[in-house]
């Protein structure tokens, strides 16, 4: 299955959750058994052989594919969550996103210096959420970090906020 076929399964919702936002709804893509199987295989082919030991998924749409990808890669899964959701000791980062302010947290013992981490989320818009997640993971002192998105809104240039040496990959791109 081609990326173009997967892209066709993403539904655009204009002016959601606020006017001016073109919301990319991935639920139709995940509704299809064939589509999620193909998506997980494309992701697995991309990241196998990199020695990834943990997939870090960002709440909440990073939890759709994150654990499935972790299982395929033989890696563990670590959630990055909104404040008040993780029960043990956490570290936190605050950030600005395409619409509104927010904060995210990770358990302070979730990663080790031996970990090779793939941070995964559904969508790159301004980059605020992933920059905060990247910063959390870096603070825990891991060996290497890869970044993956299902979707990238290229015109928002979220990539420019990351160091050049970090490999950032998005599967489905929108130019407007
Ligand atoms: P940002 O921090 O601006 O890169 O925003 C990325 C986060 O907000 C992701 O976790 C997305 O789930 C969500 N998000 C932002 N903009 C959109 C959009 N246009 N469509 C769907 N989700 C979005």
pLDDT (tens digit per residue) in 72-124: 999 999 999 999 999 999 999 999 866 678 999 999 999 999 999 999 999 99
Is residue 112 one of the residues assigned to a domain? yes
Q: Is the CB of 61 under 6 A from ligand 1?
A: yes
Told to judge if 98 belongs to the known catalytic residues of this protein, a careful annotator would answer yes
Is residue 123 one of the residues assigned to a domain? yes
Counting the structural domains of the chain, the total is: 1
pTM reported for the whole predicted model: 0.97
Is residue 33 one of the residues assigned to a domain? no
Q: 114 near 53, Cβ under 8 Å?
A: yes
Is residue 81 one of the residues assigned to a domain? yes
Q: Is the CB of 97 under 6 A from ligand 1?
A: yes
Give the distance, in angstroms, between the CA of residue 170 and the centroid of all CA atoms in the same chain.
Answer: 9
Ligand 1 atom closest to Cα of residue 132: 2
Range of the domain at 84: 49-174
- For helices 33-47 and 62-73, the axis angle rounded to 10 degrees is 60
CATH of the domain at 72: 3.40.50.2020
Is residue 151 one of the residues assigned to a domain? yes
Told to judge if 81 belongs to the known catalytic residues of this protein, a careful annotator would answer no
Select which of 11, 34, 98, 165 is catalytic. 98
Ligand 1 atom closest to Cα of residue 127: 4
Q: Nearest-CA neighbor of 33 among 45, 22, 41, 25?
A: 41
Is residue 6 one of the residues assigned to a domain? no
Is residue 41 one of the residues assigned to a domain? no
């Amino acid at each position: 299955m081609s990326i173009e076929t997967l892209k066709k399964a993403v539904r655009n919702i204009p002016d959601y959750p606020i006017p001016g936002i073109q919301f990319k709804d991935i639920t139709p893509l995940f509704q299809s058994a064939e589509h999620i199987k193909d998506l997980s295989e494309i992701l697995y082919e991309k990241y196998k052989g990199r020695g990834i030991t943990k997939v870090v998924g960002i709440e909440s749409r990073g939890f759709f594919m994150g654990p499935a990808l972790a299982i395929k890669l033989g890696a563990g899964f670590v959630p990055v969550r909104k404040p008040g959701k993780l029960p043990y000791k956490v570290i936190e980062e605050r950030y600005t996103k395409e619409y509104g302010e927010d904060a995210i947290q990770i358990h302070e013992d979730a990663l080790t210096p031996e970990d090779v981490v793939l941070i995964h989320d559904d969508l790159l818009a301004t980059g605020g959420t992933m920059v905060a997640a990247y910063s959390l993971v870096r603070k825990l002192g891991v060996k290497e970090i890869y970044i993956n998105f299902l979707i990238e809104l290229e015109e928002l240039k979220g990539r420019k906020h990351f160091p050049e040496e970090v490999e950032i990959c998005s599967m489905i791109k929108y130019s407007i």
